[in-house]
Structures are given as structure tokens and as C-alpha cells.
């Protein structure tokens, strides 16, 4: 199956001619353009917002096109199968439906949840949030060879499809409907790398072949939770993420990917400025050089930030596309978070405002995530092999200092606290899971007035340094913007 991206944006393109937002401004300044979404399969089947219902009933040759809720399933002559999101499944600028009569109305907009600090959490309620609004193939459907999804709207739909076994380890995933819902192409390329998805430009061609067997990852085949990076334990090695497909840049076929170490931004090809159209299908040229799919994200990431900086949202975004996530609420639900001055959390609070924060954080997490409330982080890191989100380290440290009686600065209590920290660092260093941990960056405000506050600030600062030293990546979130810290 050869898939040519004639256009990759929303219905008005990107940048939008009539829009003065910062995202469109950045695209104009960089000379980057994306035409409205349109996909040509094997040079014969055109899928676009203008697709008529008749095209579904009379595909050319032996092609099969099937409408599913919020998307389409396309089967090529060689048996390759493609899943295409029929429209952006949310957001203010929604591409038109591709004709699927089963696409539901968009959900009503609600108030944004508070952005931090991240409260610890208790067990999930019986009735969790609804699954993401994206393509919804029937249960029992075999894994697809290619999936084109609206990841700018909600990357959790990718995690949902992976958790159901519909997108397997050999499925090539690419983003479509890219528009000014994302801050910039560079930022969206960063996110696609975290989600192990490609970010094609207009004019690119993806070649995919049907893969043998079920196409499921080792984890889904065995029915057990295996290593997050199985079978190869080396992070970022060439064995990881080799594309089942091939992608050709129509400007000359040079190999490139969204994880290009030379530049985080995808540079547009001449074809990006003059994308082929449905009226000129002869511009379609199948095949091309192999594109290496994005390498697996780093195993250990420390996300630092102050109160309401967006650090929790960044941590959750990093794991949104994972099929198996354990959320660790590292302390009792009545425990707060430290402030910028380094004051320890108030372990006695249990007010309605804090309960509302807990509910808001729980509601925005995908429904298939598991929540575990524990202060034994070392045991979790030793046992887990999938993805783990720890929120947060400051709350955990405060709870450990409570358990050890360290607030009085008794030497024996401080030694017990140090032993717990050492145990955590050892487990963090040797974990087989993919771990994202959130921690508060304290000490930027006034010096704490109490001895306990100064002790907590100093302990957390040292703990952050230890975790960062043993992490493949550490980032600082300020005003919702992510700064990668050099190693």
C-alpha cells in the first residue's frame, strides 16, 4: 500500500489565510504550509473531506472502503489495511466529516481543569471518563498496518487503540489534520516523537506492506505485561521502531523523520508548497527510501516546574499514547504539594478545594490508566515493566519524612530518610519501565521561615539532582512551555 499525503492539515490549511494567531504566524514566518487533508492510496483511491458516499460503495478494483464510527477502514489489493480518522474529533476547528453517517456530535465544551500543583489521588471511581473521541473499530478487529490519526486533537486516542490491540508493534502511525491547534510544527514534532508517530509533510508517500501474523506487539500476543522496550532493552538503538512502512519526500527522496537529531522541525519540501491535487493524480509517485520510525522515547524523564506551571499536563501528555500506564499517587489524598518557597505540604488538609483538584486531575486521565496510591515507589519501579507516571516527588518526600519522623531533624530519622531516598534512586536507575516523574522546583521564592520548611526545601533540591543525574531527560516547565535541560 502506497499512501500519498496530498494535504495534511485541517479544512482551511495551515497557516489559515484569515488567522492572526501565534501558531499561524510562526508557520508563515517559517515559510511552512500545509494543504487541507487529502490522501491518495495506491494512486487510485482518494480520501478527502470532499469524499462522496458513492465512493464508499464503489471503490475501484479490489479495494474495500468501510465506514466505521469517526473513521474509515481501507483495504488495498495486497491486503494492507489503513485506518483513517474521518475528521478532527474535537477542538474549535473541525475538518468536515468524510461522509461517515456514524460520526457523533462533538462533546460539549467544559471548563478547563486546574493545572497544578498535582494532588495525590485515591482509587479510581467505578465510572471513569469516556474513551477518547476518535476512530472506533469494532472489538476483535485485527491490527492495522497504517493508522492516520488526528493527534493534534487528542493523542489519547492512540493509547486507546493500542490498549485494544488495534494498533500493534508493527503499525505505522502518522499524524493528519495538523493545524493551528498546536503551537508550532517544532512543538508538534516533539510530541509525535513521544508518541512514536510520524509527522509527514504534504507530498510525502508512505509505503506499507501487510505484516505476517496478528501484528500485535509481544505484550498483546502473550497476554502478559512485558518489558516496555521488549525485546531490545537498549534505548534509542536502531532496532527500535523500524517502520513497517516507507516514506518518500517528493522533493528528492532523502531519508528524514520527525526525530531527526539535526533539527526538531520538519523542513518543508518544494512539494509542500505545491502539493499535488486530486485533479493532478499523475504527480503521484509510489515508493521511496526507507524512513526510520521515531525511536522510543527516553526511559526515565524528570519533569520539573513550579505551581501551575503545566508540569503535570506535560507529564500526562508524554504518556497519553501508551496502552498500559500506572499512575502513582505518591502520598495520601489529604497531602498537599510544596510551595515555591520550599514549605512542605500541609498533611492535615482535607478541604473541598483540594478534593476538587483531585477530581479534576483524575477526570483528565485516560480511562484505561490504573491508579495506585503508595509511598513505596522503589517497589513499584522494581515491579512495573510498562509505563509509570509518578506525581509527585515532593509529595512522596513529605510523606517519607512524616513516616521517618524527620521534621525534628533527629539524626536517626534523617538517616532513615536518606536510606529511603537511596532505595528510590537505585530502583529508578535499574527500572525496566518507562517512567515520567513530576517534581516541584522549590527555592525560587522567599527563604522558608521554619526549620522544617528549610529542611524540606534542601532535601527536595538534592533529591531532584539525584533523579536528574539518573534520567535520560530532564525538562523544566515554565508557563506551559517546556525547556529541555542539557545533560
Q: How far apart are CA 399 and CA 351, in angstroms?
A: 18
Per-residue pLDDT of the chain (487 residues; tens, 9 = 90+): 899 999 999 889 999 999 999 999 999 999 999 999 999 998 888 887 655 555 566 677 788 888 899 989 999 988 999 999 876 544 444 333 333 323 333 333 333 433 433 444 444 433 445 677 789 999 999 999 999 999 998 999 999 999 999 999 889 999 999 999 999 999 999 999 999 999 999 999 988 776 554 332 323 332 333 344 333 333 332 223 333 344 444 444 433 444 333 222 222 233 333 333 333 332 323 333 334 455 678 899 999 999 889 999 999 999 999 999 999 988 654 444 454 444 555 544 456 766 676 666 676 788 889 999 999 999 999 999 999 999 999 999 999 999 999 999 999 999 999 999 999 999 999 999 999 999 999 877 778 888 999 999 999 999 999 999 999 999 999 999 999 999 8
Do the Cβ atoms of 186 and 254 come closer than 8 Å?
no
pLDDT at 294: 52
Neighbouring C-alpha atoms within 13 Å toward the C-beta of 363 = 12
At how many degrees (to 10) do helices 311-319 and 185-195 cross? 50
Which phi-psi region, left, alpha or beta, contains residue 345 (left: φ > 0; alpha: ψ -120 to 50)?
Answer: beta
CATH number of 300-484: 3.40.50.300
Give the active site residue among 220, 273, 280, 361: 361
The 481-484 sheet, strands edge to edge: 370-373, 325-329, 387-391, 434-440, 300-305, 473-478, 481-484
Neighbouring C-alpha atoms within 13 Å toward the C-beta of 62 = 7
DSSP per-residue string spanning 224-281: S---TTTT--STT-TTTT--SEEEE-TTT-----TT-TT-SSPPPPHHHHS---TT-G
Do the Cβ atoms of 396 and 350 come closer than 8 Å?
no
What residue spans define the domains of the chain? 1-89+132-296, 300-484
CA distances to 323, 417, 433, 454, 464 from 460, rounded to whole Å, are 31, 12, 23, 10, 6
**According to the 3-state scheme, what is the secondary structure of 346-414?**
CCCCCCHHHHHHHHHHHHCCCCCCEEEECCCHHHHHHHCCCEEEEECHHHHHHHHHHHHCHHHCCHHHH
| Polymer length in residues for the chain | 487
Do the Cβ atoms of 198 and 147 come closer than 8 Å?
no
Do the Cβ atoms of 11 and 36 come closer than 8 Å?
yes
Bridge partners of 438? 303, 391
Q: Which of 318, 326, 345 is nearest to 475 (CA)?
A: 318
CA distances to 132, 160, 406 from 155, rounded to whole Å, are 9, 9, 42
Confirm whether 361 is a catalytic residue: yes
Do the Cβ atoms of 205 and 287 come closer than 8 Å?
yes
Q: How far apart are CA 482 and CA 473, in angstroms?
A: 12
Amino acid at each position: 500500500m502506497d499512501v500519498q499525503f496530498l494535504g495534511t492539515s485541517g479544512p482551511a490549511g495551515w497557516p489559515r489565510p484569515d488567522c492572526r494567531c501565534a501558531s499561524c504566524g510562526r508557520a508563515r514566518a517559517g515559510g511552512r504550509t500545509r494543504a487541507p487533508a487529502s490522501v491518495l492510496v495506491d494512486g487510485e483511491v482518494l480520501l478527502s473531506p470532499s469524499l462522496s458516499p458513492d465512493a464508499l460503495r464503489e471503490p475501484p478494483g479490489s479495494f474495500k472502503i468501510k465506514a466505521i464510527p469517526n473513521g474509515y477502514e481501507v483495504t488495498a489489493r495486497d491486503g494492507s489495511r489503513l485506518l483513517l480518522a474521518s475528521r478532527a474529533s474535537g477542538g474549535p476547528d473541525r475538518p468536515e466529516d468524510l461522509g461517515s453517517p456514524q460520526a457523533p456530535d462533538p462533546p460539549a465544551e467544559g471548563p478547563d481543569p486546574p493545572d497544578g500543583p498535582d494532588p495525590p489521588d485515591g482509587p479510581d471511581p467505578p465510572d471513569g471518563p469516556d474513551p477518547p473521541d476518535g476512530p472506533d473499530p469494532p472489538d476483535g478487529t485485527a491490527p492495522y498496518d497504517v493508522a492516520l490519526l488526528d493527534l493534534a486533537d487528542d493523542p489519547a486516542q492512540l493509547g486507546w487503540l493500542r490498549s485494544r490491540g488495534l494498533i500493534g508493534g508493527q503499525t505505522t502511525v502518522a499524524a493528519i489534520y495538523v493545524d493551528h491547534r498546536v503551537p508550532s510544527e517544532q512543538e508538534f514534532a516533539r510530541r509525535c516523537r513521544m508518541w512514536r508517530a510520524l509527522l509527514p509533510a504534504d507530498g510525502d508517500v508512505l509505503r506499507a506492506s501487510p505484516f505476517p501474523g496478528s501484528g500485535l506487539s509481544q505484550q498483546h500476543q502473550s497476554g502478559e505485561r512485558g518489558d516496555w522496550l521488549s525485546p531490545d532493552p537498549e534505548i534509542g538503538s536502531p532496532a527500535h521502531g523500524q517502520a513497517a512502512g516507507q516514506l518518500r519526500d517528493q522533493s528528492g527522496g532523502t531519508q528524514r523523520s520527525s526525530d531527526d537529531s539535526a533539527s526538531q522541525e520538519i523542513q518543508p519540501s518544494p512539494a509542500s508548497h505545491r502539493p499535488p491535487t486530486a485533479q493532478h493524480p499523475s504527480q503521484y509517485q509510489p515508493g521511496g527510501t526507507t524512513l526510520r520510525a521515531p525511536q522510543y522515547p527516553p526511559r526515565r524523564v524528570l519533569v520539573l516546574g513550579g505551581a501551575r506551571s503545566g508540569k503535570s499536563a506535560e507529564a500526562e501528555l508524554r504518556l497519553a499514547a501508551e496502552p498500559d500506564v500506572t499512575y502513582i499517587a505518591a502520598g495520601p489524598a489529604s497531602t498537599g504539594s510544596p510551595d515555591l518557597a520550599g514549605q512542605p505540604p500541609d498533611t492535615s488538609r482535607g478541604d473541598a478545594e483540594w478534593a476538587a483538584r483531585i477530581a479534576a486531575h483524575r477526570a483528565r486521565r485516560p480511562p484505561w490508566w490504573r491508579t495506585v496510591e503508595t509511598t513505596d515507589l522503589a517497589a513499584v519501579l522494581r515491579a512495573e515493566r510498562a509505563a509509570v507516571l509518578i506525581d509527585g516527588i515532593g509529595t512522596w518526600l513529605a510523606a517519607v519524612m512524616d513516616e521517618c519522623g524527620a521534621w525534628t531533624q533527629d539524626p536517626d530519622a534523617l538517616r532513615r530518610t536518606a536510606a529511603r531516598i537511596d532505595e528510590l534512586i537505585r530502583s529508578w536507575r535499574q527500572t525496566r519501565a518507562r517512567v515520567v516523574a513530576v517534581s516541584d522546583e522549590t527555592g525560587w521564592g522567599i527563604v522558608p521561615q521554619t526549620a522544617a520548611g528549610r529542611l524540606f526545601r534542601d532535601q527536595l533540591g538534592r533529591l531532584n539532582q539525584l533523579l536528574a543525574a539518573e534520567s535520560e531527560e530532564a525538562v523544566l516547565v515554565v508557563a506551559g512551555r517546556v525547556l529541555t535541560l542539557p545533560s
